[in-house]
Amino acid sequence: MSGRLAVIGLGPGDAYHRTAEADAELAAAEMIYGYGPYLDRVADRDGLVKIASDNREELDRAGAALASAAAGHRVAMVSGGDPGVFAMAAAVCEAVEKGDPAWRAIDLAIVPGVTAMLAVAAAAGAPLGHDFCAISLSDNLKPWSVVEKRLSAAAAAGFVIALYNPISRARPWQLGAAFALLRQTLGGDVPVVFGRAIGRPDARLSIAPLAEADAEQADMATLVIIGTAETRIVERPGLQPLVYTPRFSGGA
């Protein structure tokens, strides 16, 4: 008998930012796989087994979860944000394609969640207000030349740019290189939003013009949004400024 695998987006922070669907799938699971800090966001209960793994072993983790589901268990796998955005859903699909043919018969559900760029945008105002793109700065999974090409194309075409995985100990220079590259096309005045751990108690939001944007402001829990020439800042007395990109868009 084949079980079920639900790949669940936990959203940006605690349960307050989860959908009812995500809660229902978590409540129905017998086993939950995921990176430790995401598992910690799910309350312990009798009958629930948590299986933590390293964040870099995505394909192995996907295979283990599929094998458990194929054995008849109700299995969940959790990602922060949305599972389809630089997270586990693609690894699970890849494991289904490459793994045991029996895995193709598993009842597989992908449960969407609020991905980090939406949470950071909401905290800042509406910086993603017109066309935008999402780029992961991790070059574990693609050559840096591809990242450069995409950054330049996006800036030249007038997309707002959301940067995921901007920096880590193993990737210390990429965000600074991205800022330098983007200044060539965008100039120094466009607003940059740094959103760290938005939706969590240690959340921090900051805004800087691209000329002053400093990679030191980011860490692994940060998402960076780079506006366009049209992005605006609205000052508010006693409140954080609003950053928004108008719905109307001229020639880029």
Binders in 55-74 for a second copy, by CB under 8 A: 58
Sites for a second copy among residues 128-167 (CB under 8 A): 128-136, 141-143, 145-146, 149-150, 153-154, 156-159
CB closer to a second copy, 80 vs 125: 125
Which one of residues 75, 121, 190, 213 is an interface residue with a second copy (CB under 8 A)?
121
Least distance between a second copy and beta carbon 129 (Å): 3
CB closer to a second copy, 7 vs 210: 7
Binding of residue 126 to a second copy (CB under 8 A): yes
- Asked if 2 and 102 count as a contact pair (C-beta separation under 8 A), the reply is yes
Which one of residues 34, 63, 112, 227 is an interface residue with a second copy (CB under 8 A)?
112
Q: Facing residues of 35 across strands? A: 53
What long-range pairs does 229-233 form, CB within 8 A, spacing at least 24? 229/158, 229/186, 229/187, 229/189, 229/190, 230/130, 230/158, 231/127, 231/160, 231/190, 231/191, 233/191, 233/207
Give the separation between CA 60 and CA 66, rounded to whole angstroms. Answer: 10
Which one of residues 1, 20, 43, 170 is an interface residue with a second copy (CB under 8 A)?
20
Total residues contacting a second copy (rule CB under 8 A)?
A: 82
Binding of residue 250 to a second copy (CB under 8 A): yes
Select from 78, 100, 101, 181 the least CA-distant residue to 137.
181
Alpha-helical runs (H) found in 29-114: 36-39, 58-70, 88-98
Burial of 116 (0-12, 13-18, 19+ CB in 10 A): buried
Sites for a second copy among residues 199-228 (CB under 8 A): none
Which one of residues 68, 115, 165, 217 is an interface residue with a second copy (CB under 8 A)?
115
Give the separation between CA 58 and CA 64, rounded to whole angstroms. Answer: 10
Least distance between a second copy and beta carbon 14 (Å): 9
Give residue 116's Cα distance to chain centre.
Answer: 5
Sites for a second copy among residues 74-103 (CB under 8 A): 82-86, 89-94, 96-97
Which one of residues 31, 75, 76, 111 is an interface residue with a second copy (CB under 8 A)?
111
> What type of residue sits at position 217?
Q
Instruction: Specify the stretch interacting with a second copy by CB under 8 A; choose among 32-40, 48-56, 216-224, 238-246.
Output: 238-246
